Structure 1
């Protein structure tokens, strides 16, 4: 790709969902309150939602979630550590592949480093044009649109706002599919193949999809493309949805219930991956790699292996650099 860039200085804002500052009940409570207060995430009327959130959910869930974070926490949250590695690697890759010398800042929609702080650092570096890179291959109003909201709010009080472009999705980008399929092939070369490849995506309420959120269609397209790249037969792979919350129906089939049912149907070994997650986090390292493994094994499963997220692998960073370069082209 031949980029003809003007003299304005460019920058990249790499945005993921978020993480608490530390694995304690108080820090998790602050994080969950910010996350679950977003109307994009929970669209229940505020007079109904506030008493439930503050009186029930936060007091009960915060200590439980903190304990879960403690099982995966090292020097910092894995999501933040991996995100910082991704930002550093992307900055280097843009320079090597495209000759683009621009700062890349990591930001979180909820928690730290915050979007306003990261954007301020970019502007302090003289950046005038920013590519916003939400780390969500499949578009959803609950994720990608929340990034757009947060970026717009961050520039609301800036007199000289930067020019902005945002990557909307990349669920079917050839390099994304190639990277996912490559990660599965590498896993199989090291460990052998299981009876079934399960692709578990983060769920959203069914109602959101009925209101027009394209997320499930994007997930289905990703899963089918990966299965085709791996030349899998229909019975050799399955799409599921994880991490449901609350009482209303979410996208189905559910990951945990599906895993529980598989051994009785003769599926004794499963390889599971989470294509919607660009970096390993609580939902992959604890919920999928640990909690759901217990579900499968207790139901009679014999072998369960989690295939890690793309994280800061070279193929993933290559994909991100191309996505950014595509936005910069012609700007």
Structure 2
């Protein structure tokens, strides 16, 4: 363990400090503490007040958010969370899975680097907060922190806002640790290989193979793309690389976008509408995968596996298979471990 010591050549009354460790801080979107009204309202208020997520002027957006959306949406969102809640652990599946991912990566990094590293996780919204985990790492002697947003694809509303919060936390430290942020890894070979393996494993268990694989990515307003956000291009490249890795040809894989919010046009095609159109075109057996999510959450377990599935079946679809996120699968942990080690070069070799 790293004990507090007095810096070399410091006077006798200098306080002892811990130093010399590297923190690896994983970050995911976040989760409410509970699915009841007030925890849901606090979570949604923090999330929907983020200017990276909703960039309307505050004078226009906040009255709508506080007086209309936050009086109704906590009830509907709470019901959705309740349907997928991990009641045994008293937490959302995203929290459970992120804990499992962190535990495995902690073991991996300690095997590789011993006590030189400290591995933990934080959430952009809700608990544990980014600020609290940065503070803890500094207190435990981390004078370098590698911050890893668990989003394969860069978007202002995911990667950028996670980094923003990390930098805000650093602003409050008297002695700031050196810091690095992990870039998007949408085309990393180990990540693509893990995705392909999950598809192959799911298909091997089926008696009849799906007509098409739908890669459903979280959506965003189209104007974000026009403003220079690379998310759409990175998603499309992931689908192409996945198809190449699987050795498939033709249109057996398509990219769609889910989770629309508000009146604007979002990235198209919309998953919920397109799966219905596939059913009407005679594609009665489809599989859906969500490559942009590192862990199963409300958008996959409830939106894809319930709402989007229902849209497909109501349009005449017969077989709908949701392929889970990579979660704490060993191939995923290995991929994340490789990315971490690559980004630690020069700090730990």
Question: TM over 0.5, yes or no?
Answer: yes
Tell me the distance in 2 between the aligned counterparts of 1:87 and 1:135.
11
SS in structure 2 at match of 1:329: coil
1:257 counterpart = 2:276: no
Measured in 1, the distance between the counterparts of 2:192 and 2:183 equals 17
1:126 aligns with 2:126: no
Corresponding residue pairs, total: 325
SS of the residue 1:138 aligns to: coil
- Cross-structure match for 2:314: 298
User: Structure 1: where are the runs of 5+ without partners?
Assistant: 1-6
Distance, in Å, in 2 between the alignment partners of 1:44 and 1:209 is: 16
Deviation at 1:133, TM superposition (A): 0.6
Give how far 1:122 is off.
1.3
For 1:186, the equivalent position in structure 2 comes to 201
Residue 78 of structure 2 corresponds to 66
Q: Is 1:13 aligned to residue 15 of structure 2? A: no
Cross-structure match for 2:60: 48
Residues 269 and 188 (structure 1 numbering): CA distance in 2 closer, same or farther, change over 3 Å?
same
TM (norm. structure 1) is 0.96
Using the TM superposition, give the Cα deviation of residue 245 of structure 1 relative to its aligned residue in structure 2, in angstroms: 0.4
Q: Post-superposition shift, 1:26?
A: 1.3
Change (3 A) 1:247 1:321: same
Paired residue secondary structure (1:235): coil
1:270, distance to aligned residue in structure 2 (A): 0.7
Corresponding residue number in structure 1 for 2:92:
77
Deviations 1:246-292 (A, max 9, x none): 01000000000001111111100111000000000000000001111
2:157 is equivalent to residue 142 of structure 1: yes
**Hey, what's the Cα distance between the residues in 2 that align with 1:234 and 1:65?**
38
- Residue 98 of structure 1 and its aligned partner are, at CA, apart by 5.5
Larger deviation, residues 54-63 vs 208-217: 54-63
2:115 and 2:286 map into 1 onto residues whose CA distance is 42
Kept in 1, the 8 Å contact 2:21–2:118? The answer is: no
Identify which of structures 1 and 2 has the higher relative contact order when contacts are C-alpha pairs closer than 8 Å and 6+ apart: 1
Give the Cα separation in 1 of the matches to 2:39 and 2:243.
40
Contact in 1 for aligned 2:118/2:137 (Cα 8 Å): yes
1:101 Cα offset (Å): 4.5
Aligned to 1:34: 46
* Cα drift, residue 191 of structure 1: 2.0
Offset from partner CA, 1:275-328 (integer Å, 9 cap, x none): 000000000000001111111111100000100000011111111111111111
**Structure 2 alignment gaps of length 5 or more:** 1-18
Check the 8 A contact 1:241/1:253 in 2, yes or no.
yes
Alignment of 1:280-299 (within 5 A): 280-299=296-315
| 2:126 counterpart (96, 103, 111) | 111
Partner of 1:57: 69
Deviation at 1:128, TM superposition (A): 1.0
Structure 2 counterpart of 1:170: 185
Q: Secondary structure at the match of 2:301?
A: helix
Distance of 1:162 and 1:84 partners within structure 2? 24
CA contact (8 A) 1:91 1:101 kept: no
Residue 199 of structure 1: which of 212, 215, 225 is its match? 215
- Out of 274, 278, 284, the residue aligned to residue 294 of structure 2 is 278
Q: Which residue of 2 aligns with 1:234?
A: 250
Tell me, in whole angstroms, the C-alpha distance in 1 between the residues paired with 2:115 and 2:53.
35
Tell me if the contact between 1:15 and 1:134 (Cα under 8 Å) persists in the aligned partners: yes
TM-score (norm 2): 0.91
SS in 1 for 2:153: coil
